[in-house]
Amino acid sequence: MVENKVVGFASYGICRDDDLVNTGEIFAMYVLRVYQKQGIDKQLMNACLEALKDINKLVVWV
């Protein structure tokens, strides 16, 4: 949040691919264009990694 305004979000959880056991997945990550290149994406990624820290592997499909 910037000035009490949501400017981005990330969605994560257990991987939806049944072949990948004990794997986390970042489903989506978006930052409003006007707020890009300000480190918000890094903050979102770090929050996802912290939430998934007990998972052995992580996948991100791009």
Say what the pTM is. 0.84
The yes-or-no verdict on residue 1 having pLDDT over 80 is: no
In a domain, 2, yes or no: no
Q: Is 36 among the domain residues?
A: yes
* Structure token pair of residue 29: 């990550």
Count of structural domains within the chain: 1
The reported pLDDT for the residue numbered 30 is 97
Find, among 48, 59, 56, the residue nearest to 11 by Cα. 48
Please give the span between the terminal C-alpha atoms of the chain, in angstroms, as a whole number.
24
For residue 31, tell me if it sits in a domain.
yes
16 within domain boundaries: yes
User: What is residue 48's predicted lDDT score, i.e. its pLDDT?
Assistant: 96
Instruction: Establish if 3 belongs to a structural domain.
Output: no
How does pLDDT run across 2-60, given as a tens digit for each residue? 889 999 999 999 999 999 989 999 999 999 999 999 999 999 999 999 999 999 899 98
Which domain covers residue 21, as residue numbers?
A: 8-60
Cα gap 33→21, rounded to integer Å: 35
